[in-house]
Amino acid sequence: MSTDRKKVGHVKILHGRKHFAMRCATYPVVAAPPGSPPFDVDAIVLEEDTFLVMSAPPEVRDVKTPMMEIMTKLIETRPQRPGCVLVKDRSPLRFLAVIYDFNEEPICREEWVESALGRIWQETERRRLRSIGLPLLGTGYGVIGTKRSIEILKHGLKEIQPPSLERLWLIISKETGIEELKMMEELIE
């Protein structure tokens, strides 16, 4: 597999890898598809809804818990607040960014994304994380466009600038093309 480097504007394309390097604020940003991390990450951000359904495992499990207990837990379940971030201890850490509320219209709002990003940067600094993987928040269901999501990301990074953060893996769709990457670069730099 070839790893020749070609530069398109300031975006470095690593042929054969689908990794694209650029800078945002003072941070090197590498855009790459899910499942193809360009480096080890200390934490990965996942988009989540208020009832945490999006991160639930898709497989059906054989449950030994009595039905009455299951129903009681369902009735007592309270939604998470949009804009919050839940941290799941794993390796890497998982930051569940609650930015979707399927009971609201629209299901995602810019202020929720901004709030979640602020909390992500706070957790990043509190835990002294050096690298994280982050999707373009709010774009998963097409509610917030790619351009606006990048603007929110850029503003958030410039505003908070977690000192411990050294690298950012921007998790992009496998279908993201060169034109979209050029647009990202223009917005980020």
Four-CA torsion 150, 14, 7, 186, nearest 10 degrees:
0
Tokens of 175: 């279908």
Whole-Å CA distances, 189 to 4, 9, 11, 24: 24, 11, 10, 6
pLDDT per residue rounded down to tens, the chain (189 residues): 333 334 334 444 443 456 777 777 677 888 888 888 999 999 999 999 999 999 877 777 777 888 888 788 778 889 999 999 999 998 899 999 999 999 999 999 999 999 999 999 999 999 999 999 999 999 988 789 888 998 898 888 888 888 899 999 999 887 666 667 777 777 666
Torsional sign, CA 79, 120, 88, 149: positive
Interatomic CA distance for residues 156 and 154, integer angstroms: 5
Interatomic CA distance for residues 32 and 173, integer angstroms: 8
Domains, the chain, in order of start with CATH, read 39-57+65-166 (3.40.220.10)
